Amino acid sequence: MTQEKTTVLEHRVFQGEYRLLKLAAPVIGPLVQPGQFVHLRVPRLENAVLRRPFSVFKADEEGLSILYATVGMGTEALTTVEVGEEVSLLGPLGTGFPRVGKNKIPVLVAGGYGNAALYLQAKNLPVKGVAFFGGRSAEDILCVDEFEALGWDVRVTTDDGSLGTKGLVTAALDPWLEEQGSGGRGQGAELFACGPNGMLKAVGDRALEKGFTAWLSMDRNMACGVGACLTCVIKRKTETGWEWARCCKDGPVFNAEEILWED
Ligand SMILES: Cc1cc2nc3c(=O)[nH]c(=O)nc-3n(C[C@H](O)[C@H](O)[C@H](O)COP(=O)(O)OP(=O)(O)OC[C@H]3O[C@@H](n4cnc5c(N)ncnc54)[C@H](O)[C@@H]3O)c2cc1C
Ligand code: FES
């Protein structure tokens, strides 16, 4: 983990409510693994000193990019950042997605910024499988062309039916999972998911029912981002009950089997 003063190379509306922020980060960029995130200090955000976590969308020797939506004070302030401005980053942080198991069909499931969080995994996996993208409407569905160009079979659902199948992402995932039968030993699908909590739980529950492994990237408010403050904890099952696990350090990616969901 490194702290780096980066410079904004590009900052523009990407699609719908999402913006693309590209940063020159020659130290952090080459170190990023799929599913990891950076903790970003938003310039000129005087009333809130905490950094904000963002998944790394793309990364290379020169730097990295994020895709973000405006939801509050920090991301609103981030929209004003200009090309050439300095942005402090901590990263790469967290435990990301593992490689896919031998002979497994990789399956990506994304909602919201999940498409960005899964892009590096989609690029790096040696085998390309099926990617299920869900959103409220067509403009929430990001990067379909890019995933298809990597060789993924992309299936889209939208709540309002403006693109793909009408309904939640599970409307497309369920029939596909049904076709696969049950996981058995060393065969079947392995799922990698990032999106809203409800979606993650639905994906995890379905995978476990079928005997498939699912890796879920959990979204929690984060203060320190490095495992020291415990603002980001979830309950992780143990042999005797449960323990606290930190999404910023032990996660954000967890095996669905480990997560003790709370109502
Ligand atoms: C590991 C990780 C990766 C992330 N990657 C991305 C990404 O690639 N793109 C993206 O757009 N967003 C991403 N997020 C979410 C992003 O960090 C929050 O949207 C951002 O911190 C909100 O800051 P804010 O100051 O604008 O909002 P605030 O003013 O802090 O909050 C606005 C509202 O959003 C809620 N909120 C704030 N932070 C979070 C959070 N982390 N999870 C759920 N609700 C929150 C608050 O409770 C409040 O209701 C990620 C979060 C995590 C934990
Ligand atoms: S954000 Fe501080 S421990 Fe995770």
CATH number of the domain enclosing 24: 2.40.30.10
Contact 104, 189 (CB under 8 A): yes
Residue 113 sits in the same domain as residue 231: yes
Give the model's pLDDT for residue 262: 82
Rounded (5°) CA angle 161-144-141: 40
CA of 184 to the centre of ligand 1 (A): 37
3-state secondary structure of 22: strand
Q: For residues 196 and 167, what is the distance between their CA atoms, to the nearest angstrom?
A: 15
pLDDT tens digits, residue range 7-40? 999 999 999 999 999 999 999 999 999 999 999 9
Residue having the nearest C-alpha atom to atom 11 of ligand 1: 68
In terms of domains, do 48 and 150 share one? no
User: Which CATH number characterizes residue 206's domain?
Assistant: 3.40.50.80
In a mutational test of the pocket of ligand 2, which residue from 50, 52, 248, 253 has the highest number of ligand atoms less than 8 Å from its CB? 248
Q: Say if residue 50 is in the same domain as residue 114.
A: no
Number of domains making up the chain: 2
Do 111 and 197 fall within a single domain?
A: yes
Residue with CA nearest ligand 1 atom 4: 54
pTM of the model: 0.94
Instruction: Bin 60: left if φ > 0, else alpha if -120 < ψ < 50, else beta.
Output: beta
Helix (H) or strand (E) segment spanning residue 148: helix 144-150
- Considering only CA atoms, which of 50, 192, 63, 171 is closest in space to residue 117? 192
Residue 89 sits in the same domain as residue 111: no
Looking at the structure, do residues 6 and 128 belong to the same domain, yes or no?
Answer: no
CB 220 within 8 A of CB 234: yes
Query: What is the tens place of the pLDDT at every residue in 145-202?
Result: 999 999 999 999 999 999 999 999 999 999 999 888 765 544 689 999 999 999 999 9
Q: Is residue 98 part of a domain?
A: no
pLDDT tens-digit readout, 101-154: 888 999 999 998 999 999 999 999 999 999 999 999 999 999 999 999 999 999
Rounded alpha-carbon distances, angstroms, from residue 46 to 53, 79, 83: 18, 15, 20
* Pocket (CB within 6 angstroms of ligand 1): 37, 52-55, 66-69, 71-75, 113, 116-117, 219-222, 252
Predicted confidence (pLDDT) at residue 254 exceeds the cutoff of 80: yes
Tokens 């997605």 found at: 97
- Do 250 and 160 reside in the same domain of the chain? yes
Q: Is the pLDDT of residue 49 over 90?
A: no
Q: 97: CA distance to ligand 1 center in Å?
A: 20
CA separation for the pair 149, 162 (Å, rounded): 22
State the closest ligand 2 atom to the C-alpha of 233, by its place in the atom list counted from 1: 4
CA of 135 to the centre of ligand 2 (A): 28
